[in-house]
């Protein structure tokens, strides 16, 4: 899981430099309409933790491959498969990465989507949003998160990474805030969603995450307090 966490950090750092030119819904590439995923807010074709017909813990590797081969959301030339290893190099699964067609429509690749396969089953999906979703949009659709985390990341271009946890819906939503603007606003933009498995309690959700390599500790979780300044975990 170390490699996947590194890729996420790189993607978030790159995102800081391209926020002003992000792809919007309905962009046209070379005269052709570009398919854009809007499922987080519409619930179509399925509700979280399902994404585009794929459900962590339920969908098989073959079903994932079928989706990647046939979906208009996927840039076929970008699909990459790699091994996931732990501890002494033991191979425990497969990671599949790809870029969306919408992300490609406005120029060079910026960051890619990712999923994890273990024992023939989809374990999670890490999806970078192609359409604009604000914090106000997310709260209006799913209500307040059970918990959230906030800490500083990045070296050359530091930023605040905020993650909102929705265990009952089986996903985490991430937004980034520029250094010096450490507060949550209605227009704060959600940039990435991690689809996992639903759980009735945050403790059960984190336990399931740890079973596939997650390392988040409960002692850094904060209670939700709405918009406004946030405290960073150091």
Q: What is the DSSP string of 13-71?
A: HHHHHHGGG---TT-EETTEE-----HHHH--S--TT-BTTB-TTTSBHHHHHHHHHH-
Residues shown for the chain: 234
Residue range 124-154, pLDDT digits in tens: 999 999 889 999 999 999 999 999 999 888 7
Residue range 88-106, pLDDT digits in tens: 788 989 999 999 998 765 5
Domain presence at residue 24: no
Domain presence at residue 62: yes
Domain presence at residue 189: yes
pTM to 2 decimal places: 0.83
Domain presence at residue 30: no
Residue 221 is part of which domain span?
2-17+35-229
Domain presence at residue 106: yes
Domain presence at residue 234: no
Domain presence at residue 137: yes
Domain presence at residue 26: no
Determine how many CB atoms are found less than 10 A away from the CB of residue 94: 17
Number of domains in the chain: 1
Q: Which residue in this structure is represented by tokens 């949003």?
A: 129
Residues 6+ apart with CB under 8 A from 166: 48, 142, 145, 146, 172, 173
């Amino acid at each position: 899981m170390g490699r996947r966490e590194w890729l996420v950090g790189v993607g978030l750092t790159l995102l800081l430099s391209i926020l002003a030119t992000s792809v919007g819904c309905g962009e046209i590439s070379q005269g052709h309409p570009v398919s854009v995923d809007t499922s987080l807010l519409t619930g179509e074709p399925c509700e979280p933790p399902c994404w585009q017909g794929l459900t962590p813990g339920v969908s098989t590797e073959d079903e994932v491959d079928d989706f990647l081969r046939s979906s208009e959301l996927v840039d076929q030339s970008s699909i990459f498969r790699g091994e996931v290893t732990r501890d002494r190099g033991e191979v425990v699964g497969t990671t599949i990465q790809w870029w969306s067609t919408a992300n490609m429509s406005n120029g060079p690749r910026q960051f890619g989507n990712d999923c994890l396969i273990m024992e023939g089953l989809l374990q999670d999906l890490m999806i970078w949003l192609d359409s604009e979703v604000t914090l106000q949009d997310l709260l209006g659709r799913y209500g307040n998160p059970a918990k959230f985390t906030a800490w500083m990341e990045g070296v050359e271009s530091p930023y605040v990474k905020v993650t909102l946890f929705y265990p009952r819906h089986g996903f985490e939503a991430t937004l980034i805030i520029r250094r010096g603007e450490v507060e949550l606003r209605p227009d704060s933009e959600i940039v990435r969603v991690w689809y996992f498995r639903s759980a009735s309690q945050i403790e059960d959700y984190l336990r399931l995450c740890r079973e596939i390599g997650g390392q988040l500790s409960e002692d850094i979780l904060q209670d939700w307090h709405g918009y406004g300044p946030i405290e960073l975990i150091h």
